[in-house]
Amino acid sequence: MPTFKGVTNNAAGILNANISSGATSLTLQSGQGAKFPTSNFWATIFSGTVESANEIVLVASRTGDVLSSIARAQQGTTAQAWSAGANVQILWTAGHAQEIQDAVNAFAVGNLVEVLNLISPNDDPIEDLVDKIQIFSKDASGGKATLALRTDEEVEALTTFAPEVSLKIWINGVQYRIALDPV
């Protein structure tokens, strides 16, 4: 099961005091910390608008209004000194998207390995079937695909199916379903 960073809706706070570019903790204004998860989440720090200047950080822990064990300058941003009054928010970032992509890829690989184990239940089915497994479209207009096994002489269709694969993930107790549709 993939592990995702924590998220909450409308998590927003304001820096209570200045921080240096090397600081690994920050304090929000009184009572604002409760809006954030207690651990392991991406946060974006910015002044003015997020487009003008921002820094994405990975927060390992939150106790009350204090965010601590912060890894600075994440996802291609630069560590900066921030003044009291700067915004701290959980915003959608490339890191969130990457976590979902990684989960989908792991799901797809896991299902392929299951199919390989059914076809060749040896100790190392992938080694036995290198260059012998093909998944191809039999009827693109009908959304069907065929799983085939290539032998030395011909390609044998093992099964035809309508791909309806989905991945269920849970983030902070909320279930999300990602459907993989044929292209």
Contact 178, 167 (CB under 8 A): yes
- Give the lowest-confidence range in 48-52, 90-94, 136-140, 155-159: 136-140
Q: Answer yes or no: is pLDDT of 17 > 80.
A: yes
Q: What would the mean pLDDT of 144-158 be, rounded to a whole number?
A: 50
Where is pLDDT greater, at 129 or 95? 95
pLDDT at position 48: 87
- Condensed to tens digits (0 to 9), the pLDDT of residues 123-132 reads 554 455 445 5
Average pLDDT in the 4-33 region?
A: 95
Model confidence at 166, pLDDT cuts 50, 70, 90, reads low
- For the stretch 170-183, pLDDT in tens is 655 666 665 555 44
- Of the candidates 11, 63, 73, 72, which has an alpha carbon nearest to the alpha carbon of residue 39? 63
pLDDT of 143 above 70: no
Q: How many CB atoms lie within 10 A of CB 110?
A: 9
Please give the Cα distance from 58 to 124 (Å, whole number): 39
Other beta carbons within 10 Å of 178: 13
Give the global pTM.
Answer: 0.60
Region 139-161: what's the mean pLDDT?
A: 49
Most confident segment among 89-93, 123-127, 133-137, 140-144? 89-93
Residue 171: name the closest of 60, 7, 16 by CA.
7
Predicted pLDDT at 138? 41
